[in-house]
Each structure stands twice: as C-alpha cells, then as structure tokens.
Amino acid sequence: MSGGAGPTRRALLSLGSNVGDRWEHLRGAVAAMPDVVDVSTVYETAPVGGPDQGPYLNCVVRLQTDLSPKALLELCRGLEVEAGRVRRVRWGPRTLDVDILWVDGESVDDEGLTVPHPRMFERAFVLVPLRDVAPDLVDEIPGGTAGDDVVPVGPLAEPAGA
C-alpha cells in the first residue's frame, strides 16, 4: 500500500508509448508505480486522431491503492515527465501517456481530471487491454475483438522479439 489517507480500492491506468524505446517506457512506468496487482498484455495499436505518427504500444495496469484520483494524476504526470514527455500537439506522438481510466467508487469532473475517463468505452486500444485486467467493466469492444487495429504483442515483462 502507498500510505494515502483512505481505504484501498481498484484503480485502472492506461499506458501508451510511440516514441523511442516503447517497451522500456512502459516497463519503467509500471516499475515506478505503487500498488500494482496486474498488468494486461501489451498491444500494438494504430494512433487515433492527431498528426501522422507511428503505432503505439498500449497496456492497462490495475492498482489496489489508497491514492486519491488527484494523487494518481500527480503520479501519472510524474511518470510522463520521467519518460521525457513533452506536450506540444494534442494527440501527438509521445514517449509515455498515462491516463486514469477508473477508480472504484470515485467520480471526478474537474478541470484537468475526469474519472471515469470520458472516452474509455469508445476506444478499442483501451478496452482490449482493460478486458485483461478488469473484464467486469468491458461489455463490448467497438469493432469486435483484437484484430487489425489492436494486436497483442506479448507480456510487458517479456516483449516479443526482445
């Protein structure tokens, strides 16, 4: 446990990377997170929106934590900074993107933070890995299951081809 003020509950974070050593950005972020209890398979996905850019590696991490949504947001932003993320273009390429998808029993709608994530149920690149670690939240995946746009590439600990 991380030493926060409240009871522990499930929190789900989405991670993506499409710049530099994508595997290492994901591995480093997960290794630096407190309270990790599960990590989805890593999937390669086409970018959604934004400028022309390369494919992403995506995964979802399940925490059992007492961190508040705001403390989780600070954690996410810190992990992005550690990975060298620079925010220049909305939906542009990035070394690391970490989003809070869900925190059991929490609803937040503040400037800069919305929980549950407002688009999490619309994006196959979130829903496919989310189904690995929180199947109770995933009723259906837009466009079916993993396919041309969401391709499993392996567990985070042992990337394919490494």
pTM, entire model? 0.86
**Residue 15, both tokens:** 């991670």
Confidence of residue 161 (pLDDT cuts 50, 70, 90): very low
Catalytic residue among 94, 123, 131, 132: 94
CA 108 to chain centre: 18
CB 160 within 8 A of CB 154: yes
Q: How high is the pLDDT of residue 88?
A: 66
- Residue 68 above 70 pLDDT? yes
Residue 10 falls in the annotated catalytic set: no
Residue 85 falls in the annotated catalytic set: yes
Q: Range with the lowest mean pLDDT among 3-7, 47-51, 83-87? A: 3-7
* Angle, CA of 52, 123 and 30, to the nearest 5°: 85
The domains located in the chain, with CATH, are: 9-154 (3.30.70.560)
Catalytic residue among 27, 62, 66, 97: 97
Q: List the beta strands (DSSP E) in 20-149.
A: 36-39, 42-45, 56-65, 97-103, 108-110, 113-115
Residue 149 falls in the annotated catalytic set: no
Residue 22 falls in the annotated catalytic set: no
Catalytic residue among 62, 85, 123, 131: 85
